[in-house]
Every structure is written in C-alpha cells, then in structure tokens.
Structure 1
C-alpha cells in the first residue's frame, strides 16, 4: 500500500499524522519520554523488528522530532533524544493515554498510570478550553479555514 503525502493538507490532524507516520513512531516517542535513548533499548521495549525501528527512528530524526548525539556515558554508541518538537507530543500522548484509560480498560484491570512527580497523584484529565478558560464540548467547536498563523 502506498502512503499518501499529507504534508500539504489543510487539516492539521491529517498533516500531523503524515509527519508522525504510524503507531510505532508514537510508541518510540512514548519510550523516549520515559528515558529510553538507545536503539537496543527501544527494540527491547517495543519488540519490533530492527528494520522497522530503524526506519521509524530515521523518520523521527528527519522530521526533527528526535535528534541523535553521542552517548551520555562516553561509549561509542549514539543516543536518540527528543527535540522540543518531540517533547511537545506529550500532550498528544497524554490525550491518547487518557482516552485509552477511559474506554479500553475494565475498572479492575491493571494498567500503568501517569502521575505528577511532586504529589504522586494522577494527572488531571485534559480538557479543551476556550480562550477565556471555559471548558468546551465537541458541540461547542467547529472547523474553519484560516490563512496564516492561527
């Protein structure tokens, strides 16, 4: 199946999905946010084939989501680190996490949880808010075409 180029799409969701690629890429970013930085550690964590992992890491570097650099321990290995662009995906991953927690697990089922380091409490659910702070539902918003910075 040939991948469609979404880089010129007017929809930010489509363009973002075209940039990120697939679910392997988001899982790589998730692991990087949890401190994984070496190829072998990504492979152990994800269990994906070397060629798939290599291609996804290369794409994440190419698009500026990750960068490579020398290993922090001085070894000859290279490490992958999130850029600011990559770190900004934390909101996307948190939204996916919270959606999954709400709809894909039974109440008694074991799961990992995102907690505030300072208080040890679960992160509050994300909410869509208006410019004045009002919580917005899906019925309170619409898609409009704009030009320039939004």
Structure 2
C-alpha cells in the first residue's frame, strides 16, 4: 500500500531532520485543545479542529517513518496509509474526513448540521488516537519497501 501511494505521488519519501514527526504531534495536541475550546459556541468548528488534530497526529507517524503526504491526494493518502500500517483502529479517521469534507464543501444547509454530541465524539476519538500515536511515535523507524 505505501509503495503504491509513493508511486501514485500521494506520499513522498523524506530523510534526515525532516523525518521527525514530533512537531506535528505537538500541533495535533494544540488543534485538539482548540476543538475543546470551540465546542460550546461552534460544534462544527470543533469537529473540524478535532479532525485536523487527528490528521496531524497521523501525519506525524508517517513523517517519523520518512513519508510525507503531498498536497495532491494527501488527506486520503493519510487515511489509507494509517489503516494499512496501524490497523482498523484508524478507520474512524476516514469517517471523520468525510464529515469534515461535508462541512467544508456543503451541498445544502443540512450538511452543516453537527450537534454538540457529534463534536464531542469526534474529540474523544481524536484524543484516543492521538494518544495512540504518542505511544507509537518513538517505536517507528524509516519505512522500507519489502
């Protein structure tokens, strides 16, 4: 899967200091904090921030392996790479991506309807998976093709 994403130019290989995902994990935590802060006044904004935080955390795991998403196809590449490498626990990232896209590119007013419970669930999911990435990050080495 990773080799395919590289050949499709959705991921690129990086090395050296660039292959350190720590700063992205810090960014993920900040976004999650922002999601919590926005929850009361703006559930849709809180949902989007929770998704962004989770996406940053997963990107941190990829960067730690010497893989960087490219702007073309980057969000779906992150989802596919996470599921391929880390399992179904990260499948919720794709569900959250779809909802975030619906919020970002609505077709009608109901596409913007995110209630507080939905946003709270997104924040809880992001928190759980960001914590998983925090545990995983020190164990990751540079990705090598088989």
Q: TM-score, normalised by structure 2?
A: 0.30
Bigger Rg, structure 1 or 2: 1
Choose between structure 1 and 2: higher helix proportion. Answer: 2
Q: TM-score, normalised by structure 1?
A: 0.30
